[in-house]
Amino acid sequence: MLLSTPLQYDGNPRDTADQVVELEKAGLDLVWVAEAYGFDSPTLMGYLAAKTERLQIGAGILNVFSRTPGALLQTAAGLDNVSNGRAVLGLGASGPQVIEGFHGLPYEKPLGRTRETIRIIRSGLKREPLESHGIFDIPLSEGRGLGLGKPLKILTKVERDSIPIWVASLGDKNVAMTAEVADGWMPIMFVPERAHDVWGESLEAGQAKRSADLGPLQITAGGMVAIGEGQETKDLLEFLRPMYALYVGGMGARGKNFYNELAQQYGYEEEAEKIQDLYLDGKKKEAEALVPLEWMELSNLVGPASYVKERIAAFEEAGVTHLNVSPVGDSPTAIVSQLKDWVS
């Protein structure tokens, strides 16, 4: 397995970017730069490209609504150039809360939009004219490029005519589409022992239609890594409760929350319902208290070295190719170096 990490920052990402340089020296292979509705991802990725030498730099993720396929193509090509061929493009549909609440756009046809965006970007990197196959067409301009005018191709010579495209997806149809057309898959709060039960059929359905040219589907998953004996180390999992409760309880509305559905698929139906009710009623602390400890334990790597090695093996057995870690301890670089020895 390779090692990746999400760029963690609280207020000032420049400070964290400096730490990424040290993580690269320790053996980190890829950094994912999230966007959500904070700082934009491409600016930070370009900054990291200038500060690193070997590390792959991934968007984790850019949504397919707030930028046109042409703009996403430009971002991918530009980052790949300034990083000398180290770009990884992570895409996703995000959710109604971000797309409608922050970008002011209707959350419509997320699956089709993601698929068509991937096709257009791949075509564009080969310097072919950008043409829509339907979802981006404007009725009065049918067949005329991406809705309007004559189709154009990217003006500049690209660094590579093929850049890895990963997709963050959870729902059955979206996961099947990811397994069919993407280079990699980015699930969240991943429990390796239950992944096949939740997504096995979808992955198999998508891979049955997958082009051999894409190669095997890559998967990045993991979580907090803290290595140590005693209760103090295990107590670090408690810091994850607010994040799990936010996703399960607050990311979306009742009946329209992908993460709540995931919790139910993992077998936490009762807890998922109660967490959402409490969270939406403003009782966040009570919601956090109901996050199953088992879920946090299985989706992270926290405990003695022997236990962490067992968790690494479980992720690898589930098909994870990029162990995505957030090291916690006195020396994150030392943790990454230690993990690199264990996964190599």
Q: What is the pLDDT of residues 226-248, one digit of tens each?
A: 999 999 999 999 999 999 999 99
Its pTM stands at 0.95
In percent, how much of the chain has pLDDT > 70? Answer: 96
Q: What is the pLDDT of residues 294-309, one digit of tens each?
A: 999 999 999 999 999 9
* Average pLDDT score over residue span 75-97: 96
**Cα distances (Å, whole numbers) of residue 279 to 38, 253, 259:** 22, 11, 13
Q: Which CATH entry fits the domain spanning 2-226+304-343: 3.20.20.30, 3.40.1390.10, 2.170.120.40, 3.40.50.2300?
A: 3.20.20.30
Q: What angle, rounded to 10 degrees, do the helices at 192-208 and 258-265 form?
A: 110
Break the chain into its structural domains and give their ranges: 2-226+304-343, 229-298
User: 3-state SS string over the chain?
Assistant: CEEEEECCCCCCHHHHHHHHHHHHHHCCCEEEECCCCCCCHHHHHHHHHHHCCCCEEEECCEECCCCCHHHHHHHHHHHHHHCCCCEEEEEECCCHHHHHHCCCCCCCCHHHHHHHHHHHHHHHHCCCCCCCCCCCCCHHHCCCCCCCCCCCCCCCCCCCCCCCEEEECCCHHHHHHHHHHCCEECCCCCCHHHHHHHHHHHHHHHHHCCCHHHCCCEEEEEEEEEECCCHHHHHHHHHHHHHHHHHHHHCCECCECHHHHHHHHCCCHHHHHHHHHHHHCCCHHHHHHCCCHHHHHHCCEEECHHHHHHHHHHHHHCCCCEEEEEECCCCHHHHHHHHHHHHC
Q: What is the pLDDT of residues 311-325, one digit of tens each?
A: 999 999 999 999 999
Token pair recorded at residue 175: 């996961």
Q: What is the pLDDT of residues 186-225, one digit of tens each?
A: 999 999 999 999 999 999 999 999 999 999 999 999 999 9
Q: What is the pLDDT of residue 18?
A: 87
Token pair recorded at residue 75: 């971002």
Q: What is the pLDDT of residue 294?
A: 98
* Average pLDDT score over residue span 154-161: 97
